[in-house]
Amino acid sequence: MQTAAALVAIVATLGLTACGSDSGSTGEAAATTTAATAFESGDTKQDKEEGGELAVTTPPDLPKPTVEELNGRINKALAGQLTAEEKKTYIEDADQDPMLVDKFVDAAERNNVTVAITNVGDPADGKLKADADVTIDGTPVQDAFVDFVAEGESWKVSHVFACNIVKSAELDSAACQE
């Protein structure tokens, strides 16, 4: 029963993630200092661009899926019925860990996770929130939802939801590192 309580707590916090990186290289620091000194002194060279606009990636404009479509997708994944090619199109960031979908399925099986999408929110910026009836070891999760992300030509289960299920079974995935 403790496992079910812990899993409910994990799934209830699906929207929380943290990211970080370590770029502590002394070689990079020296190069940055040299470049910064030239910039701060006002030294510029002709015909060189000193700045540019960042490239903006626009998410695909996919139509709003139906409750049935999302239930079909997530339950096919949870049942482990995906081909190797389909695995890449069902969970966001699955390309970072080829075993992410298998770990998601294994974690769901270990903890008897069931998901039934009940309502689909409106897409915004390539994302949507779907209300869901989620149970873990027979215990309903209050106010549960599943986030989906538009990638390519399909709505994928968000990396956050998949990783929370994987972590709930004490499994590890390269795609779920903070």
Q: Which amino acid is at 40?
A: E
In a domain, 136, yes or no: yes
In a domain, 3, yes or no: no
Can you give the CATH number for the domain in which 122 is found?
A: 3.10.450.100
pLDDT computed for residue 39 by the predictor: 43
Cα torsion angle, 83, 89, 92, 96, sign: positive
Strands 127-136 and 154-157 come out as: unpaired
d(C-alpha 144, C-alpha 68), whole Å = 17
- The DSSP result for 83-136, as a single string, is -HHHHTTTBTTGGG-TTHHHHHHHHHHHTTEEEEEEEEPPPBTTEEEEEEEEEE
d(C-alpha 51, C-alpha 17), whole Å = 31
In a domain, 114, yes or no: yes
In a domain, 53, yes or no: no
Look at the block and give the residue holding tokens 């910039």.
Answer: 39
pLDDT computed for residue 136 by the predictor: 92
pLDDT computed for residue 97 by the predictor: 86
Domain span holding position 130: 67-172
pLDDT computed for residue 121 by the predictor: 97
In a domain, 138, yes or no: yes
In a domain, 43, yes or no: no
Tally of domains within the chain? 1
pLDDT tens string, the chain, 178 residues long: the values are: 444 444 444 444 443 333 333 444 444 444 444 444 444 444 444 555 555 566 567 778 899 999 999 999 999 999 999 998 888 889 998 888 889 999 999 999 999 999 999 999 999 999 999 999 999 999 999 999 999 999 988 999 999 999 999 998 898 888 888 7
pLDDT computed for residue 46 by the predictor: 54
In a domain, 152, yes or no: yes
